[in-house]
Amino acid sequence: MSEAEAHTFLKERVDRVLDGFVSAEAQALADIDASLAPVAERLHATTAHGKRLRAAFCYWGWRGAGQPDSEALVRAAAAIELVHAAAVVHDDLIDHSRTRHGLPTGHIALRGVLTGHPRPKAGARALAMLVGDLLVSMAGDLFTTSGLPGAFLSRARPLWAVLARELVAGECLEVLRTGCPPDPDASVKVIRYKTAKYTVEHPLQIGGLLAGAPPRLIRAYSDYGLPLGEAFQLRDDLLGLFGDPERTGKEPADDLAGNRPTALMAHALTSATEAERGELRHLLGRTELGQRQVERVREIAHRTGAVARVEDMITARLREAHDALTDADVTTEARTALADLATLSATRIH
């Protein structure tokens, strides 16, 4: 089986776990009252998509420590995808995003439930927020009922709490940094806590801790996972502006409208001429941006060298991750899988 086929097979296993678990939870919610059915359906909609990279990193963190394949571990790894789903719901609310994966986001889709409601927009946002909160609770439930021994779970439980804390910290930092003077280093700190840690580093370490990995391997997972997680989000920022919406499922204007403190925009603003900086400040934060305006931002990002700088940042971090993996004391199978996942994460096109 090729690495691509192996990843697809693992993804299918995670998908089956999530489908069964979410279906049961959605039905239990809808059984409380028939009017909750559309809210329950959002649990399916929010968890139906994804590359399952976080679950894959957790799985290979386990296998890298020498543990055999385990259905219980796959269930525990799938729980991290529910954390991601919750983060996506909350992120879409914070950013006022209208689409994801080419479909309406939760707070947009739920407006249709509130016909006749005195404040349908606010009500839909409240419902979406509660869906995200429920997903966080479901993640903890799936993790603790995965079937792994309690002693295994207790080794990883402290890091599970750190994962949640640092994810929230990253979201808060992004809100606090929005509209501030451009600072590339501060932008990297945002993505480190908002995305990098809970996407690669922490899932890997949780898998390793569940497996009883020694401290040296847990540190190696961090040396590999943190730069790779940053490379993943830096690539996501480039795709957010330059990606094909048919592939990314998001509009190129979303990051611009949200005036998000990305490293790409920080470098563009720092290196722009005074006139270009004025143009960017005029466009960033506007909710209705046309194609010509998006193209203008793209031109400035290229001319200032911001795109090239971010590409260099991605390349350097990917190299750092591969170097750390070379030195890590992991199984041969895990080393191959993690090398493949590193390239997939940092060089993807959607």
CATH of the domain at 149: 1.10.600.10
User: For the chain, what's the residue count?
Assistant: 350
**Backbone φ, ψ for residue 99 (5° rounding):** -135, 155
The tokens of 210 are what?
């569940």
Residues paired with 100 in a beta bridge: 103
Count CA atoms closer than 13 A to 111's CA, side-chain side: 10
342: exposed, middle or buried (Cβ count in 10 Å: 0-12, 13-18, 19+): buried
Residues paired with 99 in a beta bridge: 104
The per-residue DSSP string of 14-62 comes to: HHHHHHHHHHHHHHHHHHH-GGGHHHHHHHHHHHS----HHHHHHHHHH
Q: For the chain, where are the E strands, in sequence order?
A: 99-100, 103-104
Q: Which domain holds residue 16?
A: 3-347
Q: What pLDDT, on a 0 to 100 scale, did the predictor assign at position 115?
A: 86
CA distance 254 to 285: 9
The one-digit pLDDT tens for each residue of the chain (350 residues) are 777 788 899 999 999 999 999 999 999 999 999 999 999 999 999 999 899 999 999 999 999 999 999 999 999 999 999 999 999 999 999 988 888 888 899 999 999 889 889 999 999 999 999 999 999 999 999 999 999 999 999 999 999 999 999 999 999 999 999 888 999 999 999 999 999 999 999 999 999 999 999 999 999 999 999 999 999 999 999 998 998 877 776 777 777 877 888 999 999 999 999 999 999 998 888 877 888 999 999 999 999 999 999 999 999 999 999 999 999 999 999 999 999 999 999 987 66
- Residues in CB range of 181: below 8 A, 6 or more apart: none
The number of distinct structural domains making up the chain is: 1
Cβ proximity of 173 and 256 under 8 Å: no
Q: What pLDDT, on a 0 to 100 scale, did the predictor assign at position 336?
A: 96
